[in-house]
Amino acid sequence: MIDPCERAAPQAPEAGAIAFSAPPLRTLRRWFDSNAPAQDEETAERIDWLRAVPFIGMHIGCLGIFFTGVSPIAAWTALALYVLRMFAITAFYHRYFAHRTFRASRAVQFAFAVIGASGAQRGPLWWAAHHRNHHRHADTALDPHSPGIRGFFWSHMGWFLTPRAFRTDWQRIPDFAGYPELRWLDRYDVVVPGALALTLYLAGTLLARVAPGLHTDGAQMLVWGFFVSTTLLFHVTVTINSLAHRFGKRRFATRDDSRNNALLALLTFGEGWHNNHHFYPGSARQGFRWWEFDLTWIALRALAVCGLVSDLKPVPAWVFAKRRG
């Protein structure tokens, strides 16, 4: 992992601060092109509410359930997309791009990068770069999302709505920065989620015509398959930032406040074994005990049997000798 350049600890932003110092058109451009010019440094640590409009709109879109109703196919679509995208985030965004805990071909890494990008959690390089920064500075003033330093709201979602967090720090991710297809996903991170939303709407419209017995339509599939599923995916994912550093058990004495939380591990397919992970982030497995259910690890082993991934890094024996219980 590349050591980041040293910089002064950022000051905590004012609660609810609004940053509109950059021209609105520049901010609007950044909705579509993350390489657009950044805002002034003085506003870098404040929430940019104009840039946050799409994020807020995603949550408002969930209210569509009161107008569209629900059908079995819409509910199953939402669940299937949650499962598929959660795996792409946990296995590839996190364990592969951020930690290099297994190997994959260029085609496989791109395929799962696209699936992960459809979760509207930005591009894989942005995600991995920030996560590497988190591990280096966990629960200090330089940690972008420590709940102990800046509170629950900031660690859960406030931090990434700031101009500073919007940037991809290329010094953190040099091992993947040379892939143009990954850089494209990072730059135009709205394209894949937008394509998914459009596909769901068109699919629902088609089903309404050819299979009316399914009782769905474009609006319903859009609301459940995209807005509800994506919003749930986001909030469950970021509980590892906000809750897994506050609630749970500490098996290992780490320099941060990471915790093992069985409920979060179930919802995030193994990410909730967070104290394990912070003690030894180099393993593709985060549930170190047999009874610590880690669905991502199980799925990765299945992919390895199929030859899609290889060299899954195990938990070394010396780690078990260090455990508290």
Give the chain's radius of gyration (CA, Å): 20
For residue 291, is pLDDT > 90?
Answer: yes
- From residue 197, give the alpha-carbon distance in Å to each of 80, 119, 149, 165, 320: 15, 11, 36, 25, 45
By mean pLDDT, which of 92-106, 134-148, 236-250, 304-318 is the weakest?
134-148
Band of the pLDDT at 51, cuts 50, 70, 90?
A: confident
Band of the pLDDT at 234, cuts 50, 70, 90?
A: very high
- The whole-number pLDDT of residue 95 equals 98
Higher pLDDT residue, 13 or 77? 77
- The whole-number pLDDT of residue 322 equals 77
Q: What is the pLDDT of residues 99-109, one digit of tens each?
A: 999 999 999 99
Nearest Cα to Cα of residue 191 among 137, 120, 287: 120
The token duo for 71 is 């059908």
CA dihedral 154→158→162→165, nearest 10 degrees, is 70
- The whole-number pLDDT of residue 23 equals 58
As a whole number, mean pLDDT of residues 121-150 equals: 91
Q: How buried is residue 153: exposed, middle or buried, by Cβ count under 10 Å (0-12/13-18/19+)?
A: middle
- From residue 110, give the alpha-carbon distance in Å to each of 21, 274, 282, 283: 36, 26, 22, 21
Higher pLDDT residue, 40 or 178? 178
Q: How far apart are CA 49 and CA 108, in angstroms?
A: 36
Mean pLDDT of the residues in the chain: 88
- The whole-number pLDDT of residue 324 equals 58
For residue 323, is pLDDT > 70?
Answer: no
By mean pLDDT, which of 112-121, 150-159, 209-218, 291-300 is the weakest?
150-159
Band of the pLDDT at 5, cuts 50, 70, 90?
A: very low
As a whole number, mean pLDDT of residues 220-238 equals: 98
Q: What is the pTM of this model?
A: 0.87
As a whole number, mean pLDDT of residues 47-66 equals: 92
Q: How far apart are CA 200 and CA 204, in angstroms?
A: 6
The token duo for 288 is 């170190």
For residue 24, is pLDDT > 80?
Answer: no
β-bridge mates for residue 273, sequence order? 260
Element at 310 (helix H, strand E) = strand 309-310
Dihedral pair phi/psi, residue 59, rounded to 5°: -70, -40
Higher pLDDT residue, 324 or 98? 98
Q: What is the pLDDT of residues 65-90, one digit of tens each?
A: 999 999 999 999 999 999 999 999 99
As a whole number, mean pLDDT of residues 136-159 equals: 88
For residue 272, is pLDDT > 70?
Answer: yes
Band of the pLDDT at 2, cuts 50, 70, 90?
A: very low
Q: How far apart are CA 45 and CA 48, in angstroms?
A: 9
Domain ranges of the chain: 44-251
